[in-house]
């Protein structure tokens, strides 16, 4: 494999879907939130994305089956709203800037082709104090204000590293709208509390507030 490629498993019927991306990173917040969303709405996988920029290992399941590192796309409908959800086990090396641009460009190309005009990327932001909070950065002042009024804090720390920020910024260059939600986390290990908080805020912001217990994630 000398270039990224996308394998479509099926072609879901999608009407003006919202794209939601949750990848590994600080506290694994993005990936945890994405998996909670997938479980909550019973999302179905429909595509896989592979890239030679991903690390040189394979993931082995509990049954001993291995597969290459990949991003997975899921489709779901909640109360008439279509969603495309993307998550994965890894990202390109943070030192490989070109790889991040290549991978994120491919992702934006694909979701735009699917008809996504609004994107939400989810990640974590390291903080020194223990404070349950969700931060927001957006493609417009209007969206930043809208999500702030729903309970997020404007993120003003200067940078969002990796695909969490880059996917959104590249989408903005295409004229697409979107926001980045960052759950506050105090560490680098998986932070389920921060992931759950960010998932709950996401659902509230989308008008689908969670009133019962959260689904289990793997």
What CATH number is given to the structural domain containing 195?
3.40.50.10900
User: Given this model, what pLDDT does residue 27 score?
Assistant: 93
Residues of the chain with pLDDT under 70: 211-218
User: Given this model, what pLDDT does residue 213 score?
Assistant: 57
In a domain, 216, yes or no: no
Number of domains in the chain: 1
Q: Give tens-digit pLDDT for 141-172.
A: 999 999 999 999 999 877 998 999 999 999 99
In a domain, 198, yes or no: yes
User: Given this model, what pLDDT does residue 181 score?
Assistant: 98
In a domain, 105, yes or no: yes
Find out whether 200 and 40 touch, Cβ atoms under 8 Å: no
Q: Give tens-digit pLDDT for 188-214.
A: 788 999 999 999 999 999 987 776 655
Query: For the whole model, what pTM was predicted?
Result: 0.92
Q: What count of other Cβ atoms lies within 10 Å of the Cβ of residue 215?
A: 15
Residue range(s) defining the domain that contains residue 102: 5-205
> Considering all CA atoms of the chain, what is the largest pairwise distance in Å, rounded to the nearest integer?
49
In a domain, 217, yes or no: no
């Amino acid at each position: 494999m000398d270039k990224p490629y996308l394998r479509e498993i099926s072609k879901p019927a999608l009407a003006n879907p919202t794209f939601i991306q949750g990848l590994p990173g600080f506290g694994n917040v993005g990936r945890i939130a994405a998996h909670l969303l997938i479980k909550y709405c019973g999302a179905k996988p429909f595509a896989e994305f592979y890239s030679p920029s991903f690390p040189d290992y394979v993931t082995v399941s509990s049954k001993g089956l291995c597969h290459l590192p990949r991003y997975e796309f899921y489709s779901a409908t909640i109360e008439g709203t279509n969603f495309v959800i993307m998550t994965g086990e890894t990202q390109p090396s943070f030192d490989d800037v070109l790889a991040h641009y290549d991978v994120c460009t491919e992702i934006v190309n694909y979701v735009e082709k699917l008809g996504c005009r609004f994107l939400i990327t989810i990640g974590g932001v390291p903080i020194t104090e223990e404070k349950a909070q969700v931060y927001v950065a957006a493609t417009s002042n209007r969206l930043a204000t809208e999500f702030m009024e729903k309970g997020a804090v404007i993120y003003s720390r200067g940078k969002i590293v990796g695909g969490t920020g880059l996917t959104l910024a590249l989408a903005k260059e295409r004229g697409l709208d979107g926001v980045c939600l960052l759950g506050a986390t105090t560490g680098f290990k998986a932070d389920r509390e921060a992931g759950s908080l960010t998932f709950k805020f996401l659902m509230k912001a989308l008008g689908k507030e969670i009133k019962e217990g959260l689904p289990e994630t793997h």
